[in-house]
């Protein structure tokens, strides 16, 4: 058996050309339609906190509290840090214009969870996608940056995909790399560790990247729906590609579930 991956905090930034205005009452009312009773815990010019009363949590000492959402606005205008987040901009395949849009966006809001990481993954995902939806509908940002999946998204496309039933859009990002001085390629995911799940990785050659992207994305959805159920030595697909836990090849350092193609398509010196 493998060790469980600890869930990480969900955090998302929305970026604007002009300073956004947030009506805490309107935000709570809209969120209640999807998440049930919401209390406004605090509201000021630059920060807001909301308690989700339908998502109770019991602390280690037996106290009953509620999961919360926090929104914050920086005290001063500051540009998006392109250098520090170069990976996100390079791997935002569904929004190639993100860097250009961010050049003119100097205002931002940060939304993140509080006290919610012990909730079931399905509950947290439900909270995140509706909180993001309401934030986009009410503040109309130019760009979304999901720190959890390390990727940028077009807010209009985010809404469109959510409305069309692609509810996992924006929470799993599949990255693509070529390996120097070889014909090898590597693809991995970001975002699954938010839900206490291992990210996925595939090191391969002479296969279509789009096919590998689909495999990783769909396997990620499978894990989100069923939990961390793929063990070392399990196989996937008709070709029975072997799965193995190992340290990620591409940063950030983390344990991933590697999906190894059969020869001659396994990358590097891998021998499944």
DSSP per-residue string spanning 27-75: HHHHHHHHH--EEEEEE-SSEEEEEEEEEEEE-TTS-EEEEEEEEE--S
Q: For residue 62, name the pLDDT band (cuts at 50, 70, 90).
A: confident
Is the confidence at residue 99, as pLDDT, over 70? yes
pLDDT of residue 80: 87
Q: Angle at which helices 121-139 and 24-35 pack, to 10 degrees?
A: 140
Average pLDDT over residues 1-15: 81
Q: Higher model confidence: residue 78 or residue 225?
A: 225
Quick one: what percent of the chain has pLDDT higher than 90? 74
Average pLDDT over residues 57-83: 87
Contact call for residues 112 and 122 (beta carbons, < 8 A): no
- Exposure string (b/e) for 51-65, b if CB count within 10 Å is 16 or more? bbeebebeeeeeeee
Q: For residue 75, name the pLDDT band (cuts at 50, 70, 90).
A: confident
Using CA atoms, how far apart are residues 97 and 212, in angstroms rounded to an integer?
24
Q: For residue 50, name the pLDDT band (cuts at 50, 70, 90).
A: very high
Average pLDDT over residues 189-197: 94
Is the confidence at residue 236, as pLDDT, over 90? yes
Is the confidence at residue 34, as pLDDT, over 70? yes
Instruction: Give residues with Cβ within 8 angstroms of 61, minimum separation 6.
Output: none
Q: Which of 187, 178, 265 is nearest to 219 (CA)?
A: 187
pLDDT of residue 1: 52
Q: What is the pTM of this model?
A: 0.90
Average pLDDT, the chain: 92
**Between the CA of residue 156 and those of 79, 164, 173, what are the distances in Å?**
22, 12, 17
pLDDT of residue 4: 60
In the chain the first and final C-alpha atoms are separated, in Å, by: 19
* 1-5, 210-214, 234-238: range with lowest mean pLDDT: 1-5
Is the confidence at residue 265, as pLDDT, over 90? no
Using CA atoms, how far apart are residues 233 and 251, in angstroms rounded to an integer?
24
Average pLDDT over residues 54-77: 88
pLDDT of residue 3: 59
Is the confidence at residue 77, as pLDDT, over 90? no
């Amino acid at each position: 058996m493998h060790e469980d991956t600890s869930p990480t905090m969900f955090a998302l930034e929305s970026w604007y050309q002009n300073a956004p205005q947030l009506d805490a009452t309107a935000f709570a009312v809209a969120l209640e339609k999807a998440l049930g009773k919401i209390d406004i815990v605090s509201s000021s010019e630059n920060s807001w906190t909301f308690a989700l009363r339908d998502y109770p949590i019991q602390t280690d000492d037996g106290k009953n509290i509620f999961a919360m959402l926090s929104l914050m606005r920086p005290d001063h205008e500051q540009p998006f840090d392109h250098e520090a987040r170069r990976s996100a901009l390079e791997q935002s395949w569904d929004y190639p214009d993100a860097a250009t849009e961010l050049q003119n966006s100097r205002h931002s809001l940060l939304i993140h969870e509080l006290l919610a990481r012990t909730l079931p993954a399905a509950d947290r995902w439900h909270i995140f996608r509706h909180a993001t939806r309401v934030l986009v509908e009410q503040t109309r940002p130019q760009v979304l940056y999901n720190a959890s999946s390390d990727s940028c998204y077009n807010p209009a496309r985010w809404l469109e995909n959510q409305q069309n039933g692609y509810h996992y859009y924006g929470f799993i990002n599949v990255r693509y790399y070529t390996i120097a001085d070889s014909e090898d390629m590597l693809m991995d995911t970001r975002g699954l560790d938010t839900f206490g799940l291992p990210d996925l990785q595939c090191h391969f050659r002479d296969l279509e990247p789009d096919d590998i992207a689909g495999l990783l994305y769909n396997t990620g959805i499978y894990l989100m729906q069923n939990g961390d159920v793929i063990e070392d030595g399990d196989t996937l697909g008709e070709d029975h590609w072997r799965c193995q836990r190992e340290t990620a090849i591409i940063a950030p350092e983390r344990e991933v579930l590697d999906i190894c193609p059969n020869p001659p398509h396994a990358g590097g010196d891998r021998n499944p």
